Amino acid sequence: MDVTIRGAGIFGLSIAWACARRGAKVRVIDPHGIGAGSSGGIVGALSPHVPENWNDKKAFQLESLLMAEEWWTVAAQAGGGDPGYCRSGRLQPIADAAALERAQARSVGAEALWDGRARWSIVPRADAGAWSPPSDSGYLIHDTLSARINPRAALDCLARAIRARSGEIVAAGSDAGAVVWATGYHDLARMGVAGAGVKGQAALFQLDQRDAPQLFVDGLHLVPHHDGTVAIGSTSERDWSDPATTDAQLDALIDKARQLIPALADAPVIERWAGVRPRSRSRAPVIGPHPLEHRGYIANGGFKIGFGMAPLIADIMADLILDGRDRIPADFRPAD
């Protein structure tokens, strides 16, 4: 065995696939199964940071989002899965004249920073159709970089691809070769990261809007999926006692979504979900040599952007583990 991955969430499976794709023998170990943590959620919004105040984290995310379609296509072809990926774009309301001015400035920024590969434009709400959020200004932001993915289907797609390359995904086993720890907020907590786990709650509606863009309204994501569902989420709870229960905070999100989007008013809620997402001190992913595991590696801290960052993180970690090539951004390295 060349590489052992501890953790079968999005970072663990993505790194395992990137290594297996290059011919390495990989084993993924997770006693709880695939997607048992926050990666097994339901929202799946792959959305960019605003195109301003540019930094290494935003540039990294842009590169990962732009490579995602080909990356997921190759994984699907390898194992026969369907990750539910689609670069469907996103609509956001513009509140007032000041927000419209900011949106126009960001449109100029996107034109320069996104290198013509995606657009951040302003459109009249009247032209956006029924699946669009209310907007006090009458205008919406439409970006063509945002994409969606079905988290559980994506993990299944990666698992199929790994097994197609003779990789193992098991509940228990011994470490062999390079060892990568991708075990979520528990690992960050043992490293002494305060607030390492942030709980989120989300809901899934039965409503077929698969050809529509995702919406982002007042902190709420509404994401149509390829299977005829719409996911909404999520809360961000720093204080929590039970990681898996849903409560009145989710009820409030459901009510808000129904009020915002008339098409959801009578759509049944078919699932309520809660989980705890790993959050680093900087809110950036943590990748590189593990500070507590001798000769081990860490891939953690995806928080709300793990699926969007995963393709590039996987490739960079495969570079490091298999070839000794270090391309890790300084802000992503574990704190000493």
Phi-psi map region of 35: left, alpha, beta (phi>0 left; psi -120 to 50 alpha): left
63 lies in some domain: yes
246 lies in some domain: no
Compute the CA torsion angle 247, 268, 217, 91 (nearest 10 deg). 150
The DSSP letter of residue 336 is -
Closest residue by Cα to residue 217 from 93, 104, 124, 132: 93
Q: Total domain count for the chain?
A: 1
pLDDT in tens, 105-145: 999 999 999 999 999 999 999 999 999 999 999 999 999 99
User: How large is the angle between the packed helices 306-318 and 56-79, nearest 10 degrees?
Assistant: 80
Residues 105, 52: contact at Cβ < 8 Å?
yes
Q: Kindly list the averaged pLDDT for each block of 10 residues, start to end, along the chain of length 336.
A: 97 98 98 97 96 92 97 98 98 97 96 95 95 97 98 98 98 96 96 93 98 97 98 96 97 97 97 97 94 96 96 98 96 86
For 201-220, letters b (16+ CB in 10 Å) and e give bbbbbebebbebbbbbbeeb
123 lies in some domain: no
CATH code of the domain in which 170 resides: 3.50.50.60
Element (H, E) at 101: helix 97-113
Compute the distance between CA of residue 332 and CA of residue 254 in angstroms, rounded to an integer. Answer: 35
pLDDT in tens, 198-229: 999 999 999 999 999 999 999 999 999 999 99
Residues 202, 233: contact at Cβ < 8 Å?
yes
Compute the distance between CA of residue 314 and CA of residue 36 in angstroms, rounded to an integer. Answer: 20
- Supply the range of the domain harboring residue 321: 3-89+148-193+281-332
Side-chain half-sphere CA neighbours of 304 within 13 A: 19
pTM: 0.97
The DSSP letter of residue 197 is E
55 lies in some domain: yes
168 lies in some domain: yes
64 lies in some domain: yes
